[in-house]
Amino acid sequence: MEPPKISATQFTIIVILFTIGSSILIIPSGLAAASEQDAWIAGIVGLAGGLLVILLFNALSKQNPSLTLLESCEVTLGKGLGKALSLVFISFFFILASTVVWDLVNFLTTHILVESPVEVISILFISLVIFATRLGLETIVRCGEIFFPWVIGLFFLWMLFSLPDVKFTNLLPIMEDGVRPIWNGATLSMSIPYLQLIVFLMISPAIRSKKTGKSLFLGTLLGGLILLTITFACILVLGVNETIIQSHPSYVLGKKISFGNFVQRIEVIVAIIWMLTILL
């Protein structure tokens, strides 16, 4: 059977969607809790640090471009240590996937399907993931190509309708407590989602291009800018305190939008964007 092959453009798209993922809902509150009104600065610093991490990932992938992350571990460290490190990575991927499922269930049972059993939602989502996995990597990537224009289009509409409620005074005072809170927020931003992108070293040999590193870097940059914009919007519209206390502030941001007295409560846009990206 011929191994799956995806183009550099397709790879960039799935990196963007993965970067957005569940972070679209949890990053604004996390950054605000750590850095308060300086959350947007922490987001910028975190993105810069995340891009440095991506450069490290690219350097690692170039050492053995035809091997996956787990295969590279055994080649580099030997069979014993390599398998031990591979087990660590597999455990991390399993925990990451479990966390994503929990994020989905928590969101749906909190805001939409309030009375639905947690087990049913979890089983349905996991079954969908298993079905997509059985169809193969190429099928998942092509779905990403279909969803991507919708995600970007809905994102721009969401930000456009948020403009009338923007209050720049919510950003003041800047750096009131110095650099430490910004660093705390930047550290959080680097860990979620940029460090998680190491998962793409599992599929990098399937890229039909020598521009794998460039695609990973570009996808991370664009996805990070989207997350930064959402965090900025939450601070400007909701304010620091409400961004902190809300578990899903970006969803609440959609609820508050009222544009021309006829476009109101477009939180469904947030839900659609999130569900399309979290699947990938």
Give the whole-number percent of the chain exceeding pLDDT 90.
Answer: 27
Q: Which of 51-55, 79-83, 103-107, 171-175 has the highest mean pLDDT?
A: 51-55
pLDDT, tens only, 112-154? 788 888 888 889 888 988 888 888 888 888 888 888 998 898 8
Confidence of residue 52 (pLDDT cuts 50, 70, 90): very high
Q: 105: which residues sit within 8 A by CB, 6+ positions away?
A: 118, 121, 122, 125
Q: Which of 3-7, 116-120, 181-185, 206-210 has the highest mean pLDDT?
A: 181-185
Structural domain contains residue 79: no
Structural domain contains residue 120: no
Q: Regarding predicted confidence, which is higher, 50 or 211?
A: 50
Q: What value does the mean pLDDT take over residues 201-211? A: 75
Question: Is pLDDT above 60 for 2?
Answer: no
pLDDT at 264: 64
pLDDT at 212: 83
Q: Regarding predicted confidence, which is higher, 93 or 208?
A: 93
* Phi–psi pair at 68, nearest 5 degrees: -80, 175
Token pair listed for 86: 């591979």
- Single out the residue of 212, 191, 23 nearest to residue 92, CA to CA: 191
pLDDT at 220: 94
pLDDT, tens only, 255-276? 777 666 666 666 777 777 777 7
E strand map for 133-271: 258-259, 263-264
pLDDT at 262: 63
The total number of structural domains that make up the chain:
1
Q: What value does the mean pLDDT take over residues 157-165? A: 84
Structural domain contains residue 103: no
Structural domain contains residue 194: yes
Question: Is pLDDT above 90 for 219?
Answer: yes
Question: Is pLDDT above 70 for 209?
Answer: no
Structural domain contains residue 211: yes
Question: Is pLDDT above 70 for 3?
Answer: no
pLDDT, tens only, 56-112? 998 888 888 888 888 888 888 888 898 999 999 999 989 988 888 888 888 888 877
pLDDT at 269: 74
Structural domain contains residue 265: yes
Across the chain, mean pLDDT equals 85
Range of the domain at 269: 8-67+136-278
> DSSP secondary-structure letter at 68?
-
pLDDT at 207: 74
Structural domain contains residue 22: yes
> DSSP secondary-structure letter at 248?
S
Q: CA 60 to CA 149: how far, in whole Å?
A: 31
Structural domain contains residue 2: no
Residues 244/230, Cβ–Cβ less than 8 Å = no
Burial class (CB in 10 A: 0-12, 13-18, 19+), 56: exposed
